[in-house]
Chain A
Amino acid sequence: MYTFALKTCKYSRGNKVVYQLIVNDKDEFSKFENKYGTKQYRSLLLRIGTRIENLSKGIRLPAGQISNIFGVEGGFEIKADSLRVYYLELQNECLIICMGGLKKNQKKDIDRFKRITKELQKQLKDGKKFEFHE
């Protein structure tokens, strides 16, 4: 059972608000940025941030930068070389960044993404209100 909260993402700059999902009190996207903010991956993180900003403005990304997650309605992955970020798009109005990881851990991460989003969508459907964090 997951508990969820939301936080506005610093890359949110357009009509579609971008949130970061906090799962069981852990800010997954910040955790991802802290882990891969090293010299080796920092350039890729900057590209991912820019791509998220473009998505928030409703700008289409090329096929090499984004793909659907099969089996998750509204589920997408943003790609940048060896990094992946997984998000959910809700009713064309907002994006919820759920988590991120390395390409080599894609299968395990996608499985986790599916579990999280299934529970998230269930709670949304049940009308559950989420806390907002600063």
Chain B
Amino acid sequence: MEKNLNSMSREEKVEEITREELLRSPEYWEEYIKIDLFNIVQDYLDENKLSRKELADKMGVSRGYISQVLNGDSDHRLSKIVTFALQAGKAPCIYFRDLNKVIEDDRNGKNAIPDFDKLEQSLEFKERFTQFISLDAMSRQMNLGFSSHLKDGRVKEEDEIVYDEQGFSYSLEQKKQMSDAA
């Protein structure tokens, strides 16, 4: 009995890992950077059909170091991360967000790390579309009969069209994309 009590008191109490603990951990953010760096380097090797040795020679590092990156091992110096990114034709934009906001977004089902490519595409689309709906509004004011139902992929005839309070028209799908981008 005494032996059992002693072993029970020595047992560490284990708390379940929560999303908040995960997002507050250095491990989470380190892993994302390592995995991102791996994918950038691997894509670069594949696209340029380079061997690890050729890349190592280009960057003035050892082949062993390239292997570490490709294995997702090791803690990298900031200067090396920057060098790898630039070599692969990528600008290493570093983006800091309020952690509490990230945790709150995660709780609401949003990604902790935004998909910047998608965001860029949405903003580009929003910019182009804003120009388009300006033309549309103008033409309706002038009663020119400019059709919103174009077939170039911006608005398809079969899309359901909605109008906002200013009279601009766009499809439900485009309205959703603009809300997501905002």
Main SS class of interface, B: helix
Complex Cα spacing A11 to B18, Å: 10
Residues in B with CB closer than 8 Å to A59 are 35, 39
Of B16, B22, B31, B71, which is within 8 A of A63 by CB? B71
Q: Given A59-B39, A62-B72, A43 and B16 touching (CB < 8 A)?
A: no
Any chain B CB within 8 A of the CB of A125? no
The answer to the question of B17 belonging to the interface, with a C-beta cut-off of 8 Å to chain A, is yes
Residues of A within 8 A of B21 (CB): 46
Binds B, one of A49-57, A97-105, A114-122: A49-57
Q: Is the CB of A64 within 8 A of B15?
A: no
Given contacts A59-B35, A61-B35, contact A50 B14 (CB under 8 A): no
Report the separation of the CA atoms of residues A62 and B18 in the bound assembly, to the nearest whole angstrom: 25
Residue numbers of B with Cβ under 8 A of A are: 12, 14-19, 21-22, 25, 27-28, 31-32, 34-35, 38-39, 42, 70-73, 111-112
A residues sitting closer than 8 Å to B (CB atoms) are 10-11, 13, 30, 33-35, 37-39, 42-43, 45-47, 49-51, 54, 57, 59-65
CB-nearest residue of chain B to A34: B14
Least CB separation from A49: chain B residue: B22
* A43 close to B27 (CB less than 8 A): yes
Using Cβ atoms and an 8 Å threshold, which residues of chain A touch B38?
60-62
Q: Is the CB of B17 within 8 A of A37?
A: yes
